[in-house]
Amino acid sequence: MEAKTLQTSLVALGLNENEAAVYMASLSTGSSTVMNIAKAAGVKRTTAYTVIESLMSKGLMRIDVKGFKRRFTAEAPDKLSSILAERQALFSRILPELTALHKLQGEESLIKFYQGKEGTKEVYESLLRDVRPEEDYYVVSDQSLWYGIDPEFFEGFMRRRAKLNINIYLLLIDNPIAREYQKKQHVYNEEIRILPKGTALTTNL
């Protein structure tokens, strides 16, 4: 793996670019002076001092004193595993509180705006995520308007919706697509009624 790729991977694991560069330089130079590490990392010596202090605070570097000389040494790479484990443990501890905050947010009135084909699909995906078992699911719709956006997606959506333990009631504008769809209502576990001819609708409710 190239050095740049390794550095990018270290950044993905939580180090900033300078920390990744200095840590890799220290691994390659072994116990060394700040000047040598800075040169290998391609950063200024003053920058290297600051970065080394940061890495030491994270447990990834240490100072070795030999006589009157100080050398800086990178800890073994497997030290990163323990750091990541500590972060995971911290996240696990705070996750319940974060989830509680998210639920509080969800209880507030909220209007979201979606645009385009992908936005429309996201609306329907959110319906599957938010619906609760035993709930009544009502739709007033012009089947010909939304079904044509992405027939394959909506076929999959209806199959997944049918597997949920909910009561599905649809009122559809009278047109050939709705009539054909009504014939398959048992397949999708739905109860469908066709609205009187002449009823106009430009959205789904």
* Domain range summary for the chain, segments of one domain joined by +: 3-77, 78-106, 116-194
Q: What are phi and psi of 164, to 5 degrees?
A: -80, 150
Residue with tokens 């308007």: 145
Nearest to residue 184, comparing CAs of 172, 201, 196? 172
Residues forming beta bridges with residue 141, ordered by sequence position: 172
d(CA 11, CA 9): 5
φ, ψ at 27 (rounded to 5°): -60, -40
Phi and psi angles of residue 163, each rounded to the nearest 5 degrees, phi first? -80, -15
Supply the pLDDT for residue 158. Answer: 80
Q: Please, which residues have CB within 8 angstroms of residue 94's CB and are 6 or more apart in sequence?
A: none
The pLDDT assigned to 156 comes to 83
Q: Is 148 helix (H, G, I), strand (E, B) or coil?
A: coil
> How far from 183 is each of 146, 165, 187, CA to CA, in Å?
18, 21, 9
* CA-to-CA separations, 154 to 20, 144, 165, in angstroms, rounded: 46, 12, 19
**Could you tell me the two tokens for 137?**
């699911």
The confidence score (pLDDT) of residue 127 equals 78
From first to last of its 205 residues, the chain has per-residue pLDDT tens of: 577 788 888 888 888 899 999 999 999 999 999 999 999 999 999 999 999 999 998 889 999 887 778 899 999 888 888 888 888 888 888 888 888 776 665 554 455 555 667 777 787 788 788 777 778 878 787 777 766 677 788 788 888 888 888 888 888 888 887 888 788 888 777 888 888 887 776 666 5
Q: Which CATH architecture has domain 3-77?
A: Orthogonal Bundle (1.10)
pLDDT score for 147 = 67
pTM check: above 0.75: no
The pLDDT of residue 202 is 64
